[in-house]
Structure 1
Amino acid sequence: LFLDEVTEMPPDLQVKLLRVLETGTFNRVGSTETQRADVRVLGATNRVPELAVAEGKLREDLLYRLNVFPIRLPPLRERREDIALLAEHFLAEICKEEGKEKKFTKGAYERMNEYDWPGNVRELRNVVQRAFVMASGATINDEWLELQVGRSAPREKGAVLSVRIGTTLSEVERSLIFATLAHFDGHKERTAAALGVSLKTLYNRLKEYGADPTPSPKESRAA
C-alpha cells in the first residue's frame, strides 16, 4: 500500500493509520466487523519528516512506525545523469500514446541538463509533454522546452563579460543584459531566466535602454 504525501494527512486519519500499523486490523466504513490487513506500507513525502513533526504536520509516533526502512531519493538536480534517461522514457510513452515519433536534439538535452528542476520528476514530465505538443516537426529542440522563469534559473555555459574598474553599476547592468540577450539570440524568456529576473523586469529595463522589448521571432512562433 503506497501512501503519498503522508505529512499532508489530516490528524484524525493519522490516528487511524497508526492503529492499523500497530494492530494490523481495521473496520470498514459502516461495519462493526474487524478485518485483518496483510500489506506492506510505503509512505512518501517531499518534506523532511522530522521537521514535519516539529511543525505539527506529522505525529511523532506515526513517523517511528513508518520509518522502519527509510529511503532518501535525491532531487533531480543532484542526479543529473537521470535527466536524459527520464526524459527519453517520458517521450517514448507520449509517442506511443499519440502514435507519433519525435526525438530530442543535442541542444535540448543540454538545456534540460543545465536546468535545476525545482519541480523534480513531475516538472520534467510536464515539460516533455508540452514540448511534444508544441514541436511541429519530428525533432524537439531547446526552444520548445518552456522552463519555469524565476524559480530556478538554468546554468548556461557562455561567454565571459569583462568589466573595467570604475564602470558604474548601471552601466554594468546594461552591458550584462545586452550581452546575455545576444548570447541567447534575442530570446527574452531565456535571457530573463539566466539573469534571475522576471520577464516583466527585463522588458522594463529594455524600454529604459530604448531597445525593442517585443518578443523575438522564435518566441513568437513558440507562443
Structure 2
Amino acid sequence: MTMQILVADDDSAIRTVVSQALMRAGFEVRVTSNIATLWRWISAGDGDLVITDVLMPDGNAFDTLPKIKNSRPDLPVVVMSAQNTFMTAIKASEKGAYDYIPKPFDLTELVSIVRRALSEPKGGKRAAPDEMQESMPLVGRSPAMQDIYRALARMMQTDLTVTISGESGTGKELVARALHDYGRRRKGPFVAINMAAIPRDLIESELFGHEKGAFTGAQTRTSGRFEQAEGGTLFLDEIGDMPMEAQTRLLRVLQQGEYTVVGGRTPITTDVRIVAATNKDLRQLISRGLFREDLFYRLNVVPLRLPPLRERIEDLSDLAQHFFAQVEKEGLPRKTLSQGALDVMRRYPWPGNVRELENLIRRLSALYPQDEISAELVEHELHNDSTRSPGIEAEGGKPIELNASVERYLADYFSSFGDDLPPPGLHGRILREVEYPLIAAALAATRGNQVKAADLLGVNRNTLRKKIRDLDISVIRSIR
C-alpha cells in the first residue's frame, strides 16, 4: 500500500517542490495551506505522516501538535521552520514532533527523514518536559548550528553520555548547560569541573571526595563532584587533561555506576549524567598513551563537534546583537554595528572564537560613546594593539601589584590563618593565585600582546589564553 504524506505550508512554492519530491520517491501526497484543513484530514484518520510549517495563516503548528499526538499518537510529524533557532528545535521536540528541519532544506534529506520515520516502530508519545524559560542559550542560524540544535533536541530526553569537542571559546559549556537545562535532569544540579585547572594529585579527591585522614591535610570528610551532581549532570571540561589514574576510576564509574571516596572502602552508587568536553584530539592522546581507549568509547557515545566561529561566520551578526543586548542589561548603553564594521569582523579569523567576539563587543560598549560602531573602531580594536597602553585589573577593579614579592605574599597568606592550617587544596589555590600576577606581569611587559607574553613565559599561546580565561584576567586597554 502506498504511504500517504500530508503537507501543510502557506508557501505554494514549498508545497510544490515538497510534493513533487515525495511523489518521485513513491509516496501519495496531499497538500494544504492551512492548519484547519490539515486537522480535518488527521481527525478523519488520513495520512501516514505529516510535514508542516510552524507559522501558518490560521495558527501555529506547535499549538496543534499536542492535539495530533493525543488523537493519533503513532502519527509522525515533521516540523519545518524558517525560525531556525535553538528554541525552535527544542519546542519541536517537547511538543512531540518526530523531527525538525530548518528552511531552506535539502529535499533529499527530507525524503530520507520521511522514510526513516515510516520505517521505525511506532513509539507513542515522548515524555513532555516541564515549561521551559524562553531564553536563548545558543545563538546562530548557520547550517552548522542547525545540526547542533537538532542533535541536542534528540538527546534532551535521554541520559546518553556526550562528548563535546571544539576549539577554546566555541561554547562547549553552553552546550553542556543546554543539555542539562532543557533535559529531563533539569531539576537536578549541574556541576562543572575543569580538569586542566586542578592539580593532578587532587583530581581524584575533587571528583570522588575523601574521608577524614585520607591524606595529609584531610581534616574532615569532603564530598566530591559526583556526590554534588547526584540526580543531575556532571560536566567534565578539558577531559583530555585528566591523569591516567583518575581515568581508571572514572571508567569504573561509567561501567558499574558506583565509586568509592578517596580513603573509603564502601562503594557508593551514583546516578549522574556525564557530559565531557575537550579542545584536544582524544584519538591522538590515545596513540601517545595519554588517554585510555576504553574510556574514550565510554565517553564518546554521542560525539558533538562545535564549529569555530570562522566556520559559521554568517552567525556573527546575530551573535553580536545578542552580546550587545547582554551588556545593555548590565547597564551599558546599547550599540549597533555599521555595515562596514560587520564587513571588517567577517574578514577577521577569530582565533578566540565566540569568546573573543563577546570580549570585543563588551570592550566596544564600554570604551566608545558612539551609538553606531564604525569599521575604523573595530579595526582599531582588532589590529592596533600597539597604540594602546595596558593596565591590569583584578576582578572587582582592584589593581594587581605586579612587583609584589611572592615570598612575602605566601608569608602573609599563612599568617592570615593564625595558628591554624589553611584548608585542604592549598597547592591548587596558591598555584592559581601566584599564576594570576605572573601572567598579568607578562601581559603588562608585552603591552597586552599574548603571542609575546606566551614566548616570555615559555608556554603555548593556547595555554596562555586558557589561563587568562580560567583566571579571569582582564587586560584593560586605554587609547592614547
Measure how far apart 1:77 and its partner are: 0.8
| 1:13-43 Cα shifts (integer Å, max 9, x gaps) | 2222212111111234555443222222111
Match of 1:144 among 377, 380, 393: 377
Residue in 2 that maps onto 1:16: 249
Residue in 1 that maps onto 2:238: 5
Secondary structure at the aligned position of 1:51 is classed as helix
Measure how far apart 1:55 and its partner are: 3.0
Secondary structure at the aligned position of 2:289 is classed as coil
Secondary structure at the aligned position of 2:278 is classed as coil
Residues 1:119 and 2:352 aligned together? yes
Q: Structure 1 residues 30 and 130 mapped into 2: Cα distance closer, same or farther (>3 Å)? A: farther
Residues 1:61 and 2:309 aligned together? no
Q: What does 1:66-105 align with in structure 2 at a 5 Å threshold?
A: 66-105=299-338
Residues 1:38 and 2:274 aligned together? no
Question: Relative to total residues, which structure has the larger strand share, 1 or 2?
Answer: 2
One-letter amino acid of the counterpart of residue 147, structure 1: L
Conserved in 1, the CA contact under 8 Å of 2:333 and 2:365?
Answer: no
Conserved in 2, the CA contact under 8 Å of 1:144 and 1:222?
Answer: no
Secondary structure at the aligned position of 2:302 is classed as coil
Secondary structure at the aligned position of 2:279 is classed as coil
Provide the C-alpha distance between the structure 2 equivalents of 1:141 and 1:129, rounded to a whole number of angstroms: 15
Conserved in 2, the CA contact under 8 Å of 1:134 and 1:222?
Answer: no
Secondary structure at the aligned position of 2:330 is classed as helix
Measure how far apart 1:94 and its partner are: 1.4
One-letter amino acid of the counterpart of residue 16, structure 1: R
Q: Structure 1 residues 48 and 106 mapped into 2: Cα distance closer, same or farther (>3 Å)? A: same
Secondary structure at the aligned position of 1:43 is classed as strand
Provide the C-alpha distance between the structure 2 equivalents of 1:105 and 1:18, rounded to a whole number of angstroms: 52
Measure how far apart 1:222 and its partner are: 4.1
| 1:135-182 Cα shifts (integer Å, max 9, x gaps) | 222222233332268xxxxxxxxxxxxxxxxxxxxxxxxxxxxxxxxx
Conserved in 1, the CA contact under 8 Å of 2:286 and 2:292?
Answer: yes
Conserved in 1, the CA contact under 8 Å of 2:327 and 2:334?
Answer: no
Secondary structure at the aligned position of 1:71 is classed as strand
Q: Structure 1 residues 47 and 33 mapped into 2: Cα distance closer, same or farther (>3 Å)? A: same
Structure 2: runs of 5 or more not aligned: 1-233, 385-451, 453-477
Residue in 2 that maps onto 1:130: 363
Residue in 2 that maps onto 1:194: none
Structure 1: runs of 5 or more not aligned: 150-197, 199-220
Secondary structure at the aligned position of 2:310 is classed as helix
Q: Which moved more, 1:28-37 or 1:83-92?
A: 28-37
One-letter amino acid of the counterpart of residue 94, structure 1: V
One-letter amino acid of the counterpart of residue 106, structure 1: Q
Provide the C-alpha distance between the structure 2 equivalents of 1:91 and 1:31, rounded to a whole number of angstroms: 50
Provide the C-alpha distance between the structure 2 equivalents of 1:116 and 1:35, rounded to a whole number of angstroms: 48
- TM-score, length basis structure 2: 0.30
Q: Structure 1 residues 32 and 94 mapped into 2: Cα distance closer, same or farther (>3 Å)? A: farther
One-letter amino acid of the counterpart of residue 325, structure 2: A
Conserved in 2, the CA contact under 8 Å of 1:43 and 1:66?
Answer: yes
Conserved in 2, the CA contact under 8 Å of 1:83 and 1:113?
Answer: yes
Provide the C-alpha distance between the structure 2 equivalents of 1:83 and 1:46, rounded to a whole number of angstroms: 22
Provide the C-alpha distance between the structure 2 equivalents of 1:103 and 1:40, rounded to a whole number of angstroms: 40
Residue in 2 that maps onto 1:157: none
Q: What does 1:173-212 align with in structure 2 at a 5 Å threshold?
A: none
Provide the C-alpha distance between the structure 2 equivalents of 1:22 and 1:106, rounded to a whole number of angstroms: 54
One-letter amino acid of the counterpart of residue 358, structure 2: R
Provide the C-alpha distance between the structure 1 equivalents of 2:276 and 2:364, rounded to a whole number of angstroms: 32
Secondary structure at the aligned position of 1:98 is classed as coil
Provide the C-alpha distance between the structure 1 equivalents of 2:289 and 2:362, rounded to a whole number of angstroms: 37
Q: Structure 1 residues 144 and 4 mapped into 2: Cα distance closer, same or farther (>3 Å)? A: farther
Q: CA RMSD in A?
A: 2.5
One-letter amino acid of the counterpart of residue 53, structure 1: I
One-letter amino acid of the counterpart of residue 314, structure 2: E
Provide the C-alpha distance between the structure 1 equivalents of 2:248 and 2:256, rounded to a whole number of angstroms: 12
Question: Relative to total residues, which structure has the larger helix share, 1 or 2?
Answer: 1
Provide the C-alpha distance between the structure 2 equivalents of 1:26 and 1:148, rounded to a whole number of angstroms: 51
